[in-house]
C-alpha cells in the first residue's frame, strides 16, 4: 500500500484535495471530522469533536507568536512533544466547556462595556483620532485587516472573551480569606526553627563494603540499563531555509529602485508646523454668556499681543487655560495635519512663520495661535535607505523563493528516497553529517541543530527510514525551514560486557552500598537520640525557615519544618541518598516580628485571596468538564506527518 502511495503520489494528492477542503472561520479551525476518519478526533465535548488538526493549528500559531516575540532566542522545541500537545488539547477542551456554560447562562456584555474594552487595547488606543476624539475608522480597519479580521468578527471575539471573563471573575470572587486563616498561613510560612545538624557520610562506610566478584556481577545484572550503549546512528541531512536563501539572493538595481518607488510613502515626511497657543476655555454646550465672556477676554488679549508680540509666552503661561501647554509658554511642539481639530489646524496652516492668528473658535473655547516653526516636507533619497531596503527586499524575495521551492524540495527527497544528493544538487545545498544521533535530543549536537528536533527524530527512526535507509519526508522545524535526513549507519542499542565496565560497576556498587550503610547507621543513631538527646555531638546552630535554607538541603528543610516540635528538643532524620543521612536537632521554634506595614499586610492578604480564588476557579472548571461530558479519544501525541509537497 505504501509503495502504491509513493508511486502514485500526484493522484493521491488530487484525491485528497477533492475530499478534504478545510474551512477556516473566526474562532479557529472548526472540526471537519465528518469528511475524515474519526481516528483523527482528539477529544469530544458535548458530542462536538476537537480534531488533531485543531491541536496542530493552535500549537503552530502559539509557536509563531513566540517566535515573533523572542526573535533569535526562540526555541521551537518548547512547542514540540506530547506535553506541549497535551497542554493545547487541555486548553481547547477548557475553551469548549466554558463557551458552553456562557451560552447556557446567557452571559453577554453591553455595547458600552465592549467599546470601553476595545478602546483600552494598547494597539487600538495608539491609533490616530478624529476631531471628535473617536478612533480613526481607516486606521482601525487596516489594523484589523492585518490580523485577518473584520470589525464584526473582532466584536464577536471581544464579546465572547468578556463574557468568559465574567464567568471566571464571578466564581473567583466567591473565595473568602478569613483573618484568622490569613494569620495562621503567614505564621506557618514565616516560622523559624533553630537546628543543629549531624551528617553521616557514605564515604565513611566505603571501606566496609564487600565488593566481591559475585556481588559485582549481581549488581551488573540488575542494573544493565546503566551500562548500555544507546541506539545510535550516523546521519546525513539537508536544511532548506529562508535565511539561507536570503543570504544567496541578489537584488538588482532595477528591483531596488522599483521597490523604493512603490514604498516611497514610508520615506516621505509631510510638512510639520510648530505652534504655541493661548486657550480661554468655553465648552461648546456652555451658556452663551460664558462663551461670549471667554471670546471677549481672548479678543482683549489678542489686542495686547498685537502691540507686544514678544510677550506671547509670558501671557500664555499666565492666561492660557490649557494646563498641558501653559507651563511651556503655550508650546505645542511640531505637528502634522490631522493631529488637531480642523478650525485650529486651518488657522495654523494659514499663518506665516512668527505670525499670530485672529481669535479661533473651537469646541474647547477660544484660541490665539502663534506659528513658531515650519519643517518642510522631505523625502529620503534612495541612497539613504538603500541598505535597509536591500535587506528587506532580499528577505521578501527569499520568502517567495522558499515558497516556490519548498514543495519541490519535498517532492525530490520523497520521490528519490535513496539519496539526498539529487536534492542537494538541484537546490545547491550542502549535505551535512552527524554521528551519535539518538532517538532523544543530544546536547552534544548543539541546541540549534535540527537533528535535536523531535519531529525529525521521529521520522528518522521510523521503520521505513531504519530498515530501508530511505530519506525522511521534508519536516518543518521552524518558520521557512525544512529538513530532510537519512540514516547512513545504524547501531542498535547494546549492553557493554561486564569485563568492559567492571570498574564502573565496582564504583557504582560501592556508592550504593555505602549510602545504604550510612542510612542504617543514621536511623540507629536517630533512635538512640530520641531516648537521649545528648547521645551525639552536633554541629553549630543555624536558623532555617520555609524561605531561608541557610545551606541546608531543601529536602532536609522540608523535613525540619514538618517535624512535630511541640516538645523540644525534637529530632528528625532525613535520607539524602548519595549524600548520606542527616539528623537534625530542633532546639527552638520562633516567629519573626509581625509586619507593621499595612500595605504589605494588604498585599499578602490579596495574594492569598487570589490563590484561594484560583483554586475555586479550577474546581469550578473541573465541574464544568464533568457536566459537559468530556471524552479524550486519544493521547495528544505527535501525529503521523504527511509527505511534504
List, for residues 50-61, the tens digit of each pLDDT value. Answer: 777 777 777 777
What share of the chain in percent tops pLDDT 90?
30
* Alpha-carbon span 391 to 514, nearest angstrom: 64
- Distance linking the first and last C-alpha atoms of the chain: 19
* Alpha-carbon span 184 to 192, nearest angstrom: 14
* Alpha-carbon span 107 to 89, nearest angstrom: 25
pLDDT score of 36:
38
632 in Cβ contact with 192 (< 8 Å): no
Q: Which residue has the higher pLDDT, 243 or 565?
A: 565
Detail the DSSP E strand segments found in 521-632.
541-545, 570-575, 581-590, 630-632
Residue 27 has pLDDT above 70, yes or no: no
* Alpha-carbon span 405 to 401, nearest angstrom: 6
List the single range of 150-154, 221-225, 340-344, 563-567 with lowest mean pLDDT. Answer: 150-154
Contacts of 361 (CB under 8 A, 6+ apart): 295, 343, 367
Phi, psi of 134 (to 5 degrees): -75, 165
Contacts of 399 (CB under 8 A, 6+ apart): 242, 480
Taking alpha carbons only, the member of 441, 432, 452, 422 closest to residue 235 is 432
pLDDT score of 29:
35
Q: Do strands 331-335 and 378-379 pair parallel, antiparallel, or not at all (unpaired)?
A: unpaired
DSSP reduced 3-state for 484: strand
Q: Which residue has the higher pLDDT, 88 or 583?
A: 583
pLDDT score of 183:
77
Sheet holding 475-478, edge to edge: 432-437, 232-241, 481-491, 475-478
In terms of Cβ atoms closer than 10 Å to its own Cβ (0-12, 13-18, 19+), residue 336 is: middle
Out of 13-27, 96-110, 379-393, 508-522, the most confident range is: 508-522
DSSP single-letter state for residue 535? S
pLDDT score of 188:
83
pLDDT score of 517:
95
Contacts of 335 (CB under 8 A, 6+ apart): 272, 273, 274, 275
635 pLDDT band (50/70/90 cuts)?
low
Taking alpha carbons only, the member of 284, 436, 442 closest to residue 366 is 284
Contacts of 373 (CB under 8 A, 6+ apart): 273, 274, 334, 353
Contacts of 263 (CB under 8 A, 6+ apart): 389
Residue 33 has pLDDT above 70, yes or no: no
Q: Round the average pLDDT of the chain to a whole number and report it.
A: 80
- Measured CA distances, 334 to 46, 275, 372 (Å): 60, 7, 9
pLDDT score of 432:
93
Q: Which residue has the higher pLDDT, 435 or 394?
A: 435
Out of 97-106, 348-357, 372-381, the most confident range is: 348-357
Residue 4 has pLDDT above 50, yes or no: no
- Measured CA distances, 258 to 262, 264, 380, 391, 399 (Å): 6, 10, 15, 15, 18
568 in Cβ contact with 514 (< 8 Å): no
pTM score, two decimals?
A: 0.47
Grid cell of 381 as nine digits = 533619497
Grid cell of 176 as nine digits = 473568602
* Alpha-carbon span 420 to 433, nearest angstrom: 11
Q: Which residue has the higher pLDDT, 175 or 501?
A: 501
* Alpha-carbon span 520 to 518, nearest angstrom: 6
Q: Which residue has the higher pLDDT, 439 or 170?
A: 439
Q: What is the CA radius of gyration of the chain?
A: 37
80 pLDDT band (50/70/90 cuts)?
low
Residue 77 has pLDDT above 80, yes or no: no
Residue 236 has pLDDT above 90, yes or no: yes
State mean pLDDT over 239-257. 80
Q: Which residue has the higher pLDDT, 267 or 175?
A: 267
pLDDT score of 67:
67
* Alpha-carbon span 381 to 631, nearest angstrom: 63
List the single range of 139-153, 483-497, 523-537 with lowest mean pLDDT. Answer: 139-153
Residue count of the chain = 645
315 in Cβ contact with 304 (< 8 Å): yes
pLDDT score of 512:
94
List the single range of 369-378, 386-395, 495-504 with lowest mean pLDDT. Answer: 386-395
Give the torsion through C-alpha atoms of 402, 405, 410, 416, to 10 deg.
-140
Out of 120-134, 195-209, 246-260, the most confident range is: 195-209
H or E stretch covering 414: helix 382-415
Residue 176 has pLDDT above 90, yes or no: no
List the single range of 142-151, 299-308, 455-464, 522-531 with lowest mean pLDDT. Answer: 142-151
DSSP single-letter state for residue 227? G
Residue 566 has pLDDT above 90, yes or no: no
- Measured CA distances, 220 to 203, 493, 511 (Å): 21, 17, 14
82 pLDDT band (50/70/90 cuts)?
confident
* Alpha-carbon span 53 to 31, nearest angstrom: 8
pLDDT score of 306:
92
Grid cell of 422 as nine digits = 539529487
Q: Which residue has the higher pLDDT, 615 or 319?
A: 319
Taking alpha carbons only, the member of 420, 482, 428 closest to residue 455 is 482
* Alpha-carbon span 287 to 294, nearest angstrom: 11
Q: What angle do CA 150, 151, 153 make, to 5 degrees?
A: 65
pLDDT score of 275:
93
* Alpha-carbon span 223 to 472, nearest angstrom: 35
Q: How do residues 475-484 score in pLDDT, each as one tens digit? A: 888 777 899 9
Q: What angle do CA 37, 40, 46 make, to 5 degrees?
A: 100
Amino acid at each position: 500500500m505504501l509503495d502504491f502511495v509513493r508511486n502514485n503520489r500526484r493522484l493521491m494528492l488530487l484525491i485528497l484535495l477533492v475530499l478534504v477542503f478545510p474551512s477556516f472561520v473566526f474562532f479557529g479551525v472548526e472540526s471537519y471530522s465528518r469528511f475524515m476518519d474519526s481516528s483523527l478526533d482528539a477529544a469530544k465535548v458535548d458530542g462536538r469533536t476537537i480534531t488533531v488538526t485543531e491541536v496542530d493549528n493552535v500549537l503552530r500559531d502559539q509557536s509563531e507568536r513566540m517566535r515573533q516575540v523572542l526573535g533569535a532566542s526562540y526555541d521551537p522545541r518548547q512547542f514540540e512533544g506530547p506535553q506541549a500537545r497535551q497542554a493545547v488539547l487541555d486548553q481547547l477542551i477548557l475553551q469548549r466547556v466554558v463557551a458552553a456554560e456562557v451560552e447556557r447562562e446567557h452571559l453577554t456584555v453591553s455595547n458600552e462595556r465592549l467599546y470601553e474594552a476595545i478602546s483600552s487595547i494598547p494597539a487600538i488606543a495608539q491609533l490616530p483620532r478624529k476631531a471628535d476624539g473617536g478612533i480613526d475608522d481607516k486606521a482601525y480597519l487596516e489594523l484589523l485587516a492585518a490580523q485577518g479580521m473584520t470589525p464584526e468578527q473582532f466584536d464577536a471575539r471581544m464579546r465572547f472573551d468578556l463574557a468568559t471573563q465574567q464567568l471566571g471573575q464571578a466564581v473567583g470572587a466567591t473565595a473568602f480569606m478569613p483573618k484568622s486563616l490569613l494569620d495562621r498561613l503567614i505564621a506557618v510560612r514565616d516560622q523559624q526553627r533553630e537546628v543543629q545538624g549531624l551528617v553521616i557520610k557514605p564515604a565513611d562506610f566505603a571501606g566496609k563494603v564487600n565488593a566481591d566478584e559475585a556481588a559485582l556481577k549481581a549488581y551488573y545484572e540488575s542494573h544493565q540499563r546503566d551500562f548500555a550503549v544507546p541506539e545510535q546512528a550516523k546521519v546525513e541531512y539537508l536544511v532548506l531555509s529562508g535565511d539561507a536563501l536570503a543570504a544567496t539572493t541578489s537584488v538588482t538595481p532595477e528591483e531596488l529602485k522599483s521597490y523604493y518607488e512603490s514604498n516611497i510613502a514610508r520615506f516621505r515626511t509631510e510638512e510639520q508646523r510648530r505652534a504655541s497657543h493661548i486657550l480661554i476655555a468655553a465648552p461648546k454646550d456652555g451658556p452663551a454668556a460664558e462663551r461670549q465672556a471667554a471670546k471677549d477676554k481672548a479678543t482683549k488679549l489678542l489686542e495686547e499681543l498685537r502691540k507686544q508680540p514678544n510677550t506671547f509666552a509670558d501671557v500664555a503661561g499666565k492666561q492660557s487655560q490649557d494646563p498641558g501647554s501653559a507651563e511651556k509658554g503655550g508650546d505645542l511642539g511640531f505637528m502634522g495635519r490631522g493631529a488637531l481639530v480642523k478650525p485650529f489646524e486651518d488657522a495654523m496652516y494659514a499663518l506665516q512663520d512668527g505670525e499670530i492668528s485672529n481669535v479661533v473658535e473651537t469646541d474647547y473655547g477660544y484660541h490665539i495661535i502663534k506659528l513658531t516653526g515650519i519643517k518642510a516636507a522631505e523625502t529620503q533619497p534612495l541612497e539613504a535607505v538603500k541598505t535597509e531596503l536591500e535587506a528587506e527586499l532580499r528577505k521578501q524575495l527569499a520568502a517567495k523563493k522558499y515558497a516556490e521551492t519548498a514543495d519541490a524540495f519535498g517532492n525530490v527527497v520523497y520521490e528519490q528516497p535513496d539519496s539526498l544528493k539529487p536534492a542537494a544538487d538541484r537546490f545547491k545545498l550542502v549535505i551535512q553529517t552527524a554521528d551519535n544521533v539518538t532517538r532523544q535530543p543530544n546536547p552534544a549536537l548543539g541546541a540549534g541543530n535540527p537533528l535535536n528536533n523531535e519531529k525529525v527524530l521521529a521520522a528518522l527512526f521510523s521503520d521505513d527510514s531504519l530498515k530501508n535507509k530511505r530519506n525522511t519526508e521534508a519536516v518543518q522545524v521552524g518558520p521557512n525551514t525544512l529538513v530532510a535526513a537519512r540514516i547512513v549507519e545504524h547501531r542498535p542499542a547494546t549492553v557493554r560486557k561486564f569485563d568492559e565496565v567492571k570498574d564502573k560497576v565496582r564504583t557504582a556498587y560501592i556508592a550504593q552500598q555505602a549510602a545504604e550503610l550510612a542510612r542504617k547507621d543514621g536511623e540507629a543513631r536517630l533512635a538512640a537520640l530520641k531516648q537521649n538527646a545528648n547521645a551525639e555531638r552536633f554541629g553549630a546552630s543555624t536558623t532555617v525557615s520555609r524561605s531561608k535554607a541557610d545551606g541546608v538541603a531543601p529536602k532536609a528543610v522540608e523535613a525540619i519544618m514538618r517535624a512535630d516540635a511541640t516538645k523540644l528538643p525534637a529530632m528528625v532524620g532525613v535520607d539524602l541518598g548519595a549524600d548520606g543521612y542527616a539528623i537534625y536537632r530542633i532546639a527552638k521554634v520562633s516567629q519573626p516580628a509581625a509586619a507593621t506595614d499595612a500595605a504589605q499586610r494588604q498585599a499578602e492578604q490579596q495574594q492569598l485571596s487570589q490563590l484561594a480564588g484560583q483554586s475555586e476557579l479550577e474546581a469550578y472548571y473541573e465541574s464544568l468538564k464533568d457536566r459537559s461530558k468530556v471524552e479524550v479519544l486519544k493521547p495528544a501525541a505527535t501525529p503521523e506527518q504527511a509527505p511534504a509537497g
